[in-house]
Structure 1
Amino acid sequence: MAVENSGEILKKAEKGIANFLKTSRDAGRIDDQLYQIALNNTFKKLKLWLEDPNIDIISPLLKKGIIDTINSGDWEKVVNAFRQNVRFGTGGIRGMMAFDRESIRRMKDGRDGIGSAVFKGPNTINDLVMLMTTAGVAQFGRAQKPVLEKVVVGYDSRVRGHDFARAVAEVFLGYGYTVYFFDAPCPYPEVTFAIPHEDVKADIGVLISASHNDYRYNGYKLSCANGSQFDPEERDEMYHDYIQKIEPKDIVGHICKFKDAGKDKLYFLGGDELLDDFDYSGKEMNLINMHRAHRRHMQSFLMTENLPEQQKKSKNPLNIAFCPFHGAGYKAVPRLLQNVGFLPENIKSIDGTSENMGLNELNGMFPAFCSDPGREQQPDPGDPRAARTAVKAFKLDYGEKAFKDVDILIGTDPDADRCGIVVKIPEKQRHIYSFNKEDYYLLPADDMWTLVVWYRLQREIERFGKIKDAEKKFIVLSHTTSDSITRLALKYGLGVVKTWVGFAALAAATRDTWDGKAREMAGLKNGHDEKYIELCHPFICETYGMTEGKRSINYAAMEQSNGFSILGGPPPDGRSLGVGGHVRDKDGTFAALLVAEIAAWAKEKGTDIIGLLDKDIYLDPDIGLFATFYEPDPLDGEYPGIEGDRIKKNILIKAYDLYDQALGGKLVIAGRKVKAAAVYRTGKYDEIYPPEKDFVFPDEGIRLFFEDDPARQEHITIRPSGTGNSLRFHIQLHDFARADNLNEAKNRLRNPKDGLGIRIMNELRERLDAPRR
């Protein structure tokens, strides 16, 4: 739309922005650095958008939303939308589609969809930002040698996910790419599987998703030709040399509608049959059955060869409840579990129909979770509150009695790359795990992955009498993931690589190990060696046992935030999965399958998940009882807007103060002395948080080590998000217990009311001025 009275509109905006920022600084809501950055950027970016005629072609109603907001005088919204571009992180971009619920509902239900006249800016996820990002990625690919030619595009259940994905695909088509487009919402791991699959062999993958964030968010997940995230060097080149330089004119003339694409330029990924509610634009013959290929690949990792027969003949077949949390796993996970042999009548999907929760429906508003302003909850299968929602919905659907028969409840997030497991608690231990002595408990991912690795090692020993090629095998895990897995791996002769947080780091460390660089990693301690002195290694924290033998087979890759995969041995080329390996990013559907197999095996032996952990992990003198605790801050989402930047920074300044106290021998938390500390800093976000004289951004966290722990396996970690205004607090405690005092030891550490873990977390929050909110 042509902007009438543009001079007056811009003059009003310039004055309103300046006054808002000055008032915010004077009131202490933002600091001088934030003030100056926002003052330099906000009006300049706003003026560019309002004066660009190409935007009227791409998104005709976009400027109306901006002008309406300027006229309303909501300068906080204006500043937050235009003070910066959406931050480009390790896996792409992620942010809010809008700052209020009504705008997102208009986008979801209104006839204009992603083109609605809601307020948009370069710091929100909207049609223009998505298309400009795509044009940058497309130009990057075309500049490579050899040029990148194929792209997989998928989407999950987010609001207007299909429309965003289709618009993205049309830009790739306009730049001459061959597009492989999913015909229905799909799990992210199916995208990462499809990219290197022999029927596709794509160069790039894109999923429209914001993972487990609340309903306001959407995003753009990027993968490279082997399904992992792009390397930092490629990612930096893509962003700085291409995405950052894109203008709206780079989109105009580069949009090719599906109906206009050549038959050899557009393919569809789906299942056995065409879907009635999807428009294949006359290319129905171009459907590839990727669902079947993904399922068959995952089935090959089962350790129980006769699982279907065993479940049919069993007097106690496994009873599974499944909750997709409104997401793309709603068909994929039950279908996978049935295909491998679990009985269909024993797999119960959760919806919460009687209270209109709709957990088994694709709905990006996530109606089972609170959406009230300031109280937005996220569908995270690793959140105990989400577990309670799933249990409540199951009981509504099937009744209290049916829940007593459930062995495990599996949950996946909206893009199904994370998996959470709810298990039953023995009656005598309910006071240890639950505030209200409930009979269920959300198993921490730390314990879940420990058990997965242990189980696979045990079954291998059963079959071969030993761990085959143990001297070649290794695990990778993030530095905030439990050391129980480290001790377990070392006990059985496997090497261990600890990385920084995120599957990009796990995949990069595995790749370097495949490439024979294990010995180069061996000298790293807390990310430092003689080469990495001021800053840490870009993705590795430290290693154990990696100089013994030729480590080349990844046995497991995992992180505390409910992500798991198995990467296998060296791939035949840089565009393939590892030999004998799964996808190079986390897969919640895969994890669901592996844990279900363990639960079935345990049930046949007369025990359960907690029973296995007690006997084979916690009482193992080579491992012991590790208790880990995690809380995000804030509990949901992030601290909003420009003021959120200040809140996060102030918490980190207080964390640095604790670091100084620890080094000075003056820090005591919950009665425990802290006498050592470390700052984990790679510098990867220094462009977003420029180093200051009195503050540098600790992108991988600040760790405080408790004094009476020579192995340094009891600690606190305060880790900030690099691209959002949130933090993560991690605690790891350890003890050795005997069979006669195990429950007492667990209660001392884990009791949710007054155990050591919760007391440390409470005092930590108090000292950081970060109350639960």
Structure 2
Amino acid sequence: MNYMGRYYAWLHDPLLDEDLRRELLAIRQDDQEIKNRFYDDIDFGTAGLRGEIGAGSMLMNTYNIKLASEALSRVLLENRQAVQGVVIACDSRHRSQDFAREAALVFCGNGIPVYLFSEITPVPILSYAIRHLNCAAGITVTASHNPPQYNGYKAYAAYGGQLPPADCAAVLSYMRRLSSLADVAYMTEEAALRTGRLHYVGKDILASYYKEALQGILSPEAIQQNADLPIAYTPLFGAGNHPVRELLKQAGFHNVKVVKEQERPNGDFPGLKAPNPEEDDALRLVIRDAKKQGAALALATDPDSDRLAIAIPQNGEYHKLTGNQAACLLLYYRLSRMKELGLLPKNGLILRSIVSTSLADRIAAGFGLAVTEVLTGFRYVSQQIDLHAEKGIPLVFAFEESYGYLCVDLSRDKDAVSSALYLCEAACYYRSQGKSLMDVMTEIYETYGYQEERADTLPFPGPDGLHEMAAIMAQAREELPEAIAGKRVLAVRDYQASVRATGGVQEPLAYPKSNVVFYELEGGSWACLRPSGTEPKLKVYASAAGATQEEAHALLDAILLDRKDWISK
């Protein structure tokens, strides 16, 4: 079906929401706008659905939410998992609560019990709830840190991690077979409550999560001695506001100040280009307040509270740590304390993505542990946690460079809520020793060497964007550079072909296939190309090793400036 056929199929569907019908009628004379909205059907990938909110087959709306929920319902029924039920949450974005409710009523219409959070809820707590309630699946309505016009629909499996690729493919297959909303089972909220299929949840699950998170504290006496530690925090208008502050309060912290302008949920995210803690702009107000308060650290969580950024004082200003630096700080602290307490497991599991810092490998080796690399995307982390848990191998730490950390096996997704607690705990522990967190970062570098990373993002908007990215990735595979920024290319990993090529010799890579090209450079540096899994963007990663911080920084700049020699854009 072409774009105009899709447009009229939607417009004439008698079950279409009237607000969507009005939006479609308003563009009936605009052929280009119709094409932009209907040039294809939205894809259900490993990150579920994501797109701009609006009427159209490529956009986020109740029509596509219902199709996805019907498709997932059929997968659960086919796999005989439906009786376990589904737990659903959402963040503070526009239409999030509407989308979550509509999804719930489709599952209920299929006879599947639904546990729906009555308030906006962080992703890690949704992930925790899946295992806590023994559900077959979980859904969270969120677009993470994307701009305000976006929303999404992320699906989780019974083990608490994101839905595996095979199940995502099954959902997409069912979605493509649904011709209209008449194919969707649906139940009114009144009927769902009356029949006992819909259950509103919240407080009990949060209480259980807090209890288990508090058990992950390694230095309770340090928190008790430093309960007045000044902490500045912003939820960036998202779901983290209450859970982060409540968990810190229960741990004993009583000097936590929240940024008032960003405290209440607001899907417009006023004053921000995007509610992304990776961006310096997102921390502007919390750093302002941290200076006034004299805070030991400033924290920011994104709207669904899976990502956490931290800024710490240095020479009268606040220095924002990268995701890699914060991860190394957490890893170093927790390994040190586990060793001191005799709690360090001999075979503990430490995980990082292939584009995260290899400094973590050297830290882990210093404590007799090895780091396992996984592909980018926290679902690969959660799969490994689950596989190793079955073998009795405990999680010690997991992270991604994009500000996602997991310190305990509580959630099976990035957890900004508990990570905020453990960072504050680390600050207390080192404060008792007369050290700042910046002192500890310096200690880490001096012990394990300097490594600096950065990622640039190249946008490819519009219908031709995907084709342009594909051409660049093809070129990266065909025209291999001999050197980047003067550093010899030692090996090239092509995760799509599952091979590592070095010196004319190819060896297999034991990873799932992924559209990633990775250049290993001499001296421990590297560069990497990877299309985003959720947006029409190409990610360019680089990591530079150096004898000093200045040397590492200069090499990092050179690698990224030199990219014209190894990519065409």
TM score, norm. by length of structure 1: 0.68
Cα distance change, pair 258–383 in 1 and its aligned pair in 2 (3 A): farther
Rate the CA distance shift 1:146–1:338 in 2: closer, same or farther, 3 A. closer
Distance in 1 of aligned mates of 2:93 and 2:235: 13
Quick check: 1:177–1:265 contact (8 Å CA) kept in 2? yes
Aligned: 1:236 with 2:35: no
Cα shift readout 1:346-375 (whole Å, capped 9, x = no counterpart): 211013xxxxxx311211111121xxxxxx
Q: Is the 8 A contact 1:142 1:149 kept in 2?
A: no
In the aligned structure 2, how far is the partner of 1:668 from the partner of 1:260?
A: 60
Q: What's the CA shift for 1:514? A: 4.0
Q: How does 1:515-534 map to 2 (within 5 A)?
A: 515=390
Residues 273-352 of structure 1 mapped to structure 2, 5 A cutoff = 289-307=204-222, 309-312=224-227, 317-343=228-254, 346-351=255-260
Greater shift, 482-491 or 249-258, is seen at: 249-258
Is the counterpart of residue 226 in structure 1 residue 159 in structure 2? Answer: yes
Asked whether the equivalents of residues 88 and 723 of structure 1 are also in contact (C-alpha less than 8 Å), the reply is: no
CA distance in 2, matches of 1:85, 1:496: 40
- Is structure 2 residue 381 aligned with structure 1 residue 449? no
Q: Distance in 2 between matches of 1:721 and 1:258?
A: 40
- Aligned residue type for 1:628: E
Task: For 1:732, give the aligned amino acid.
Answer: S
1:388 to 278, 284, 299: 284
Residue 767 of structure 1 deviates from its aligned partner by 6.1
The higher relative CO (CA closer than 8 Å, separation ≥ 6) is in 2
Deviations 1:276-322, CA, capped at 9 Å, x for gaps: xxxxxxxxxxxxx222111111111000123553125xxxx421100
Q: Is the 8 A contact 1:703 1:715 kept in 2?
A: yes
Deviation at 1:586, TM superposition (A): 1.0
Matched, 1:489 2:346: no
Counterparts in 2 of 1:447 and 1:85: CA distance versus 1, 3 Å: same
Equivalence for 1:524: none
Q: In the alignment, residue 156 of structure 2 is paired with which amino acid?
A: S
- Aligned equivalent of 1:632, options 457, 461, 481: 457
Correspondence 1:747 to 2:550: yes
Q: Gaps spanning 5+ residues in structure 1: where?
A: 1-39, 99-119, 272-288, 352-357, 370-376, 428-438, 517-550, 568-580, 684-697, 737-744
Paired letter, 1:79: K
2:142 corresponds in structure 1 to 209
Q: Which amino acid aligns with 1:213?
A: N
CA shift, 1:253, in A, is 5.3
Query: Residue 721 in 1 paired to residue 544 in 2?
Result: no
Alignment counterpart, residue 469 of structure 1, candidates 325, 345, 349: 345
| Corresponding residue for residue 140 of structure 1 | 75
Q: Identify the match of residue 304 of structure 2 among 415, 419, 436.
A: 415
Structure 1 residue 82 displacement after superposition:
1.4
2:397 aligns with 556
Sequence identity (%): 25
Q: Is the 8 A contact 1:170 1:258 kept in 2?
A: no
Deviation at 1:145? Answer: 2.6
Residues 307 and 341, structure 1, Cα contact 8 Å, conserved in 2: no
2:115 counterpart SS class: strand
Query: Is the 2:70–2:184 Cα contact (8 Å) retained in structure 1?
Result: no
Summarize deviations over 1:56-77 as a string: whole Å, max 9, x none.
Answer: 224134334223213134x1x3
Q: Secondary structure in 2 aligned to 1:230?
A: coil
Q: 1:719 to 1:493 in 2, by over 3 A?
A: same
- Cα distance change, pair 269–552 in 1 and its aligned pair in 2 (3 A): same
Partner of 1:680: 495
CA contact (8 A) 1:258 1:266 kept: no
The answer to whether the Cα contact below 8 Å between 2:75 and 2:171 also exists between their aligned partners in 1 is yes
**Distance in 2, Cα, partners of 1:512 & 1:190:** 21
Once residues 308 and 565 of structure 1 are traced to their aligned partners in structure 2, the CA distance between those partners, rounded to angstroms, is 20
The aligned length equals 556
Q: 1:734 aligns with which of 545, 559, 563?
A: 545
Structure 1 residue 485, shift from structure 2 partner: 1.0
Map residues 558-573 of structure 1 onto 2, 5 A cutoff: 558-566=399-407
Q: Aligned letter for 1:677? A: V
Offset, 1:168? 1.3
- In 2, the alpha carbon distance for the partners of 1:158 and 1:93 equals 15
Which residue number in structure 2 is paired with residue 362 of structure 1?
Answer: 265
Distance 1:173 1:269 in 2: 15
- Whether 1:618 and 2:445 are equivalent positions in the alignment is yes
- Report how far residue 605 of structure 1 moved: 1.3
SS in structure 2 at match of 1:88: coil
Q: Is the 8 A contact 2:15 2:182 kept in 1?
A: no
The reply to whether residue 46 of structure 1 matches residue 7 of structure 2 is yes
Which of 68, 72, 80 in structure 1 is aligned with 2:26? 68
The residue aligned with 1:107 is: none
- CA deviations on 1:584-627 (whole Å, 9 max, x unpaired) are 11111011111111111112211111211211x2122xx31111
The aligned amino acid for 1:762 is L
Tell me, in whole angstroms, the C-alpha distance in 2 between the residues paired with 1:655 and 1:507. 30
Note closer, same or farther for the CA distance 1:309–1:390 as it changes in structure 2 (3 Å cut): closer
Normalised to the residue count of structure 2, the TM-score between the two structures is 0.91
1:322 and 1:409 in contact (8 A); partners too: yes
Q: 8 Å contact 1:410–1:421 — kept in the other structure?
A: yes
> Residues 395-418 of structure 1, C-alpha deviation per residue, up to 9 Å, x if partnerless?
7xxxx5x25x11111110000011
Structure 1 residues 389 and 645: alpha-carbon distance in aligned structure 2, compared to 1, 3 A threshold: farther
Q: CA 1:253–1:553 in structure 2 vs 1: closer, same or farther (change >3 Å)?
A: closer
User: Does structure 1 retain, via aligned residues, the 8 Å contact 2:115–2:201?
Assistant: yes
Q: Distance in 2 between matches of 1:610 and 1:131?
A: 49
Report if aligned partners of 1:161, 1:208 keep a CA contact under 8 Å in 2. Answer: yes
Classify 1:486/1:258 alpha carbon distance in 2 versus 1 (closer, same or farther; 3 Å). Answer: farther
